[in-house]
Amino acid sequence: MNELATIGHNRGPDPIDEALAPYGDYLTEAEAWLDGAAVENETQMKAVDALLKEVKAAEKAVTTAQKSEAAPLHDAWKAALARYKPTLDDLDRMKRGLIAAVDGFKRKLAAQKAEAERKAREEAEAAAQALRDAHAKANASDIEAQRAIADAEREAEIARIKAAVAKKDSGVKGMITKTFYEVTDHKALLHWIAKNDRDAITAFVDEYARRNHSLGCKCDGLRVWQEKGC
């Protein structure tokens, strides 16, 4: 009786194993060398250099196998993106068109509501001040003064409620607040950053040195040198 086939039994050879097959002995020998000991003589150096050459070749073979296996998947991924793109682009055009159509009215409505909220807030502040003034002038034995205080309290409360309602209703659905910026004085900003955010200056200087040191930059405060190594 034949053995039952296990899952994956009928699959082809693994491309990684195939890529590494010609280099198995070299990789085993490389592992033996990597026991923590350093090279001590020229003979050992030549042996390690020869192994390094084979390990690099193995790496190239695996990279080639990786690209060969991944290419069809990547092509399928790109094809799927391309198939959906026209529809998504059209939906995006519709979305941007609708936003543009309503943008002007929403801006106008938002401005109107902001003005109404401002007026309601000012009226509430004025009513609160009137109440404070009435309390300051009130005579406990003067009934008319006490009635004036009661009236001022009612007016202040009504104004406060109106201001709260206006503030709650000041937004317009779909409107967002965007923040913009403009550098008006580069030198002044640089001085401010140097004084208040030294880490940002340090990060910029380090990155500038990394990008420009190999171009022969004769910069103050930058030392460039060379060393031979593997």
* pLDDT exceeds 70 at position 29: yes
pLDDT digits (tens, 9 = 90+) for 61-118: 999 999 999 999 999 999 999 999 999 999 999 998 988 998 888 888 888 888 888 8
Distance of alpha carbon 166 from alpha carbon 168, whole angstroms: 5
pLDDT digits (tens, 9 = 90+) for 172-224: 677 777 888 899 999 999 999 999 999 999 999 999 888 888 777 778 888 88
Q: Give, in degrees to the nearest 5, the angle at Cα 166 between 160 and 167.
A: 90
For tokens 């002995």, what's the residue? 25
Average pLDDT of the residues of the chain: 85
DSSP assignment of 176-217 equals --------S-HHHHHHHHHHH-HHHHHHHHHHHHHHHGGGT-
